[in-house]
Amino acid sequence: MVTRVNRLWLFFVFFSVMGLFFSGGLAAQEDGRLKVLYHLEFDEDFYFLAQSAGVQIWDAYAGPFPEREFWYYALESVLGNASRIAQVLRSADGSDPVAQAISGGIPVFVDIHITGDIDVPYTQVRYSIKELFSALQVEHTFQENIPLEADLLSYFWLPLSADLDAFIETIIKPVFQIQGPPGTLVYGFTKEPLKIPDTESLFLDVPMPGTYAWEMVHKRYTRRQGVFMADKKHSVLTLPRQRFFPTSVDVGLFQSRFPELWVSRYLKSYGWFFSIGLQQQFFGILLSNSDEPLHTSFNQRPLLMPGIGAGYRFRGPEPYLPKPYIAGTLFARFNAESPGFDDFSPASALFVLGYEWETPVWVKFFVELGAAFYFLNKDYEGSLSKGTGDPGWLQLLVGEVIYVELPAFRIGIKVLLPF
């Protein structure tokens, strides 16, 4: 019968500990401080003799031995002033103090035993400090003169107070805080993404010091990533709040010469985007350098080219550093001098590798480098146009089907829109 009761008690303790651990670990943690439960026990023979004989501290002064309740009062007063202790609680008479601490979610238990010798006279204090949710434990002993009430309130308990404060310093889990827009998903701290609540602050326990690679995802803000070095002095990560602009108006120069206009739509802050726009060669700016000083002239071709494209923007370095993307565009080519599709190439395609630079305002700069492919018409040999008319580095004919111009170059700005 006794064995059965003990087993049931052990199962109760085990599941209580596990429940408290997984529901938050140090459940009694309050702003970096912990609650403490203590059990104080006297050697009855020593207590009876000391109380009967009184306390002789030195020849000129003697006083009564402090009552039990004053020992408790003094202990709680001294320990309660320690920087890492939120509250000091006394174990209930006749109860199991360990079970009381577990049921109350109190992580630290101190067991104190008082003994001594009134003939010397001295008091010996043996104590053990335990963290109930782990195997951590320390045991110490110190010896002092048999105290008066004033001694209990001043120096007597200081060795225990210092050891307890240092013990809590080693086991406490600093609270790590993440601040950001509500609904933000944060990766890098746990296996599953964390979600910022409506309070805009998320608290969690993480090992410190530590270095964490994080990434934030929010539909209204630009997706960001970074590395945070967390320690007790740097325990708050503030997520950037750069508004995500899903639309941009792109104004650029094709081959550094022909003005063009595009509208781009981004599905996410990084990832796929689609574009629709117009490229033309009715007028263009040509910078030439001959025997005369550098001057500007105009290069005109009778071409109008609406297009549609798609691309993928990669997550690159942090703000104001270039971010890479790839894109492809399909054009229809119309010749204004002979209305209809261009005799050289009724359609073309452009494939580029691009980079864009963010600025503190609603503008980005971009540059692209790639190749243009022209799908040849059967009458291409007599056409008024041939590609862009820019010799470039390489121009070649693939069979009698495709004409390739390399490189194709674009540069311009993106004006961001919040809708």
Over its length of 419 residues, how does the chain's per-residue pLDDT go in tens digits? 223 333 333 333 343 434 333 333 444 454 556 788 899 999 999 888 888 877 765 555 567 888 989 999 999 888 888 777 778 888 888 788 888 888 777 888 899 999 988 888 789 999 999 887 666 788 999 998 888 888 888 889 999 988 888 888 777 666 788 888 888 899 888 788 889 888 888 887 776 667 788 888 887 888 787 888 877 667 788 888 878 788 999 999 998 888 999 999 988 877 899 999 999 888 877 665 555 554 455 566 788 999 999 999 887 656 667 889 999 999 999 988 877 888 888 899 999 999 998 887 889 999 999 999 999 887 777 776 777 766 566 777 777 788 888 888 999 999 988 88
Please report how many Cα atoms fall inside a 13 Å half-sphere around the Cα of residue 56, on the Cβ side. 10
**CB 383 within 8 Å of CB 343:** yes
**CB 266 within 8 Å of CB 243:** no
At residue 41, the pLDDT reads 92
- Show the 3-state SS of the chain: CHHHHHHHHHHHHHHHHHHHHHCCCCCCCECCEEEEEEEEEECHHHHHHHHHHCEEEECCEEECCCCHHHHHHHHHHHHHCCCCEEEEEECCCCCCHHHHHHHCCCCEEEEEEEEEECCCCEEEEEEEEEECCCCCEEEEEEEECCCCHHHHHCCCCHHHHHHHHHHHHHHCCCEEEEECCCCCEEECCCCCCEECCCCCEEEEECCCCEEEEEEEEECCEEEEEEEEEEECCECEEECCCCECCCEEEEEEEECCCEEEEEEEEECCCCEEEEEEEEEECCCCEEEECCCCCCEEEECCCCEEEEEEEEEEECCCCCCCCCEEEEEEEEEECEECCCCCECCCCCEEEEEEEEEEEECCCCEEEEEEEEEEEEECCCCHHHCCCCCCCCCCCEEEEECCCEEEEEEEEEEEEEEEECC
Q: Which domains does the chain have, with CATH numbers?
A: 19-171 (3.40.50.10070), 175-238 (no CATH), 247-417 (2.40.160)
| Residue closest to 351 by CA, chosen among 325, 377, 332, 333 | 325
At residue 190, the pLDDT reads 79
d(C-alpha 397, C-alpha 375), whole Å: 10
210 forms bridges with which residues in the sheet? 230
- What the block records as the tokens of 112 is 């104190």
pTM over 0.95: no
At residue 1, the pLDDT reads 28
Crossing angle, helix 68-80 and helix 158-171, to 10 degrees?
50
Please report how many Cα atoms fall inside a 13 Å half-sphere around the Cα of residue 276, on the Cβ side. 2
- What does residue 354 show for φ and ψ, rounded to 5 degrees? -125, 165
